[in-house]
Homo-oligomer: A and B are copies of this chain.
Amino acid sequence: MYRSHTCGQLRIGNAGEKVTLAGWVQRIRKMGGMSFIDLRDRYGITQLVVDDSVSHELNETVEKLGREYVVQVTGVVAERSSKNSKIATGDVEIKLDTLKVLNASVTPPFTIEDESDGGEELRAKYRYLDLRRGPLKKAMELRHRMGQETRKYLDSIGFMEIETPFLIKSTPEGARDFVVPSRMNPGEFYALPQSPQTFKQLLMVSGYDRYFQIVRCFRDEDLRADRQPEFTQIDCEMAFVEREDVLVTFEGMIKSLFRNVLGKEIEGSFPRMSYSDAMKFYGSDKPDIRFGMKIGELKSDGRNGSDNIDLTSGKDFVVFDSAEYVGAICVKGAAFYTRKQVDELTEWVKRPQIGAKGLVYIRVAEDGVKSSVDKFYSARELEAMANRVEATAGDLVLILAGDKKKTQEALGTLRIEMGNRLGLRQSDNYAPLWVYDFPLLEWDQETGRFYAMHHPFTAPKPEDMDKFYSNDREQIAQVAANAYDFVLNGTEIGGGSIRIHDSNIQKRMFEVLGFSAEEAEYKFGFIINAFKYGAPPHGGIAFGFDRFCALFGGQETIRDYIAFPKNNAGRDVMLDAPGMIDDSQMEELFLKSTLKK
């Protein structure tokens, strides 16, 4: 062993002990004939002191040191004269006897400090140096803790971790697979799993009624910001359960993570919200309920759970009159917003990402209301609108109009933005939420068929069975799935469903999706077959582990919570991967590139 203690271990009680430490040189300072070295390892920083006049040899070695040199030192622990209360070892320093350079370092391309001077790209290339920095180390530690605590909890309630294969078969339904040519089976390909979905359902058929796995998944998608081609999932499935059992079980897991990882006690049950309420009140299927600012409908058609109301029509304001839907949010205490600020918000909602046509406001003051549509609506009419969102003096009401779903979503995005601006979205404040009763199917105009919103094994809600078997496309479109999402602070962290275990319902599902019997057999034959041999009722959930960790760390981006992430082009810039392979490798796989050289 190269050390007797780590650099985070020594305290005042160790004073007088002779110790050996090893680590990296973080900083060197010279002061009044003394050299001070901050020695760093995973556990902390310990100050080393060399009296320059004592040993010529030691002094010479110190002279040669540079940042990030790896050294082994021996010395005696002493109380510091000027203590540093910011670090755990701040009361002591080591009076050095010997210092041995274990390895030199060239000068790092950026500073290894909590706030580095290195740009993102440079740090990605030297990821192994970036990982030395405090924030990344904390992220890795948090992730490790999350993994251990997840396993500990699930194990404690009888879940078994069962590893499923990575070299599987390509199923051309859903997202794009990464494929792996098989040399031993020329012309054939494996696929990397997008999730162990079918395997966990097979395990239910096999009788492993509480399964989980923390497992890598792969999706060859065009990468939106903050997506990774490989990502990790907490994948879970249970048999002989209904929705309530799944929700209660994983509420237990999530609470135990809050308790054991963050030291936070979440009291009571998590709130629950239907998909239609989420859209109606938050304009999102993943509402951030850390703050209110609920959407109020000023004009809506009463369908899919919305109110049948109209506070806006017939006053010659064409924008509202021609709109399918008008909705508002109340920004508490924001009546002080200047014209310029409102104009800027108007530009903001008109950006293509949001796509609103414009923004109407009502400013509520003690002495009445002011609005950009004063000339169409009387004060009373405007007050009625403001009342819908419970605005009181000092508040600013923001109104959008247009197609219902698009406008709800635009209001949802505006709500989040205003929440940010008002500081209502503190990262250390956690608001968990279950959202349920999602639509089962989505009609695609282009291909003229239904697609499963989740996947083709999601069960319809029992009470919607009549609609599910109906011949009317409108009716089928209204079938709700027995599905649920776990949402934390406006981010979807988990999603799952009760699965179809009845082969007749499964057959109907494939029919609704427009698969012929042959297609269904080709794509899902083994699982359809498995379900003939006594499939139990079952359901499950999967959590996005990378994002779960990031949120627990108070961050929105996942990249810092993955040791070696890829960039938006799917490249690992540190490895410079992917790369070319040898011609001989191509030949062995019976493959040829169609690219011009």
Contacts and interface: CB of A to CB of B under 8 A. Distances in A.
Q: How many copies does the complex hold?
A: 2
Nearest to A571: B185
Contact of A189 (B144, B186, B222, B580): B580
Most B CB contacts (10 A, CB to CB) among A40, A141, A163, A582 go to A163
Given A163-B216, A534-B24, A169 B576 contact: yes
A208 interface: yes
B108 A190 contact: no
Contacts of A70: 534-536
Interface in A550-597: 562-564, 566, 569-572, 574-582, 585, 587-595
A207 B593 contact: no
Contacts of A562: 163
A176 B376 CA distance: 75
A180 interface: yes
Given A132-B207, A241-B2, A591-B592, A579 B170 contact: yes
Contact of A22 (B108, B184, B240): B240
Contact of A203 (B40, B69, B165, B563): B563
B185 A161 contact: no
Contacts of A105: 532-534
Contacts of A242: 1-2
Contacts of A245: 1
A590 B594 contact: yes
B165 A572 contact: yes
Interface stretch (A91-99, A147-155, A396-404): A147-155
A594 B592 contact: yes
Given A132-B206, A182-B570, A577 B3 contact: no
A431 interface: no
Interface string A240-269: 111011000000000000000000000000
Interface string A518-529: 000000011000
A185 B537 CA distance: 43
A235 B436 CA distance: 40
Given A179-B589, A180-B178, A41 B579 contact: no
Contacts of A137: 207-208
A252 to B, nearest CB: 14
Given A170-B581, A202-B128, A103 B535 contact: yes
8 contacts: A105-B532, A144-B155, A148-B155, A166-B192, A166-B218, A177-B585, A183-B220, A189-B579
